[in-house]
Amino acid sequence: MINFDMLHQHYFLTMGPLLVVTATAFVVMILEFLLRRRAQAWLTGIAMLGVAVALAVAIAHFYAQPQLTLNTMVIDAIGSVFSVLILITTLLILWFTLDYSRRHHVAGEHTYLLLFAVVGALAMATAIDLITLYVGLELLSVASYVLVAVRTRSARSVEGGLKYLLMGSIGSAVLLYGMTFIYGISGYTNLVQIGMDATSLWASYPAVVALSFVLMLAGMGVKLALVPFHMWAPDAYDGAPSPVSAFLATLAKTAAFVMLLRVMLFLFNAVASNLFSWFGVLAAVTMIVGNLIALPQRNMKRLLAFSSVAQAGYVMVPFALFGATPYTDWYALFDSIAFYLFAYTFMTVGAFAVVEIVSRERGTVDADALIGLYRRSPWLAAALSVFVLSLAGMPLTAGFVGKVYIFTTAIHARGVWLAVILFATSVVSFYYYLGWLRRVFQRPAAEGAPADAGEGAAAQAAGAAAVQVVGAAAAPDVAPAPAPARQAAIHSLIAVCALATLVLGIVPASLLHPLALQRWF
What percent of the chain is modeled with pLDDT above 90? 51
129 phi, psi to nearest 5 deg = -130, 135
- pLDDT tens-digit series, residues 421-458: 999 999 999 999 999 999 998 877 655 444 343 334 33
**Cα distance between residue 60 and residue 54, in whole Å:** 10
Three-state secondary-structure class, residue 296: coil
Partner residues linked to 299 by β-bridges: 366
**Cα distance between residue 442 and residue 271, in whole Å:** 56
Please report how many Cα atoms fall inside a 13 Å half-sphere around the Cα of residue 501, on the Cβ side. Answer: 31
Q: How confident is the model at residue 340 (pLDDT cuts 50, 70, 90)?
A: very high
pTM value is 0.88
Q: How confident is the model at residue 486 (pLDDT cuts 50, 70, 90)?
A: low
- pLDDT tens-digit series, residues 22-80: 999 999 998 888 876 667 778 888 999 999 999 999 998 888 888 888 888 888 889 99
Position with higher pLDDT, 108 vs 410: 410
Average pLDDT, the chain: 84
What percent of the chain is modeled with pLDDT above 70? 88
Q: So where are the chain's domains?
A: 1-271, 284-521
**Cα distance between residue 157 and residue 164, in whole Å:** 10
Residue 55 pLDDT: 94
**Cα distance between residue 252 and residue 505, in whole Å:** 24
Residue 485 pLDDT: 44
For residues 87 and 55, the answer to whether their CB atoms sit within 8 Å is yes
Q: What value does the mean pLDDT take over residues 196-206?
A: 83
The two most distant CA atoms of the chain are separated, in Å, by 96
**Cα distance between residue 449 and residue 191, in whole Å:** 66
Position with higher pLDDT, 108 vs 401: 401
Sequence letter at residue 10: H
Least confident of 31-45, 146-160, 179-193, 334-348: 31-45
For residue 228, cis peptide bond before it (omega within 30 degrees of 0): yes
Residue 446 pLDDT: 57
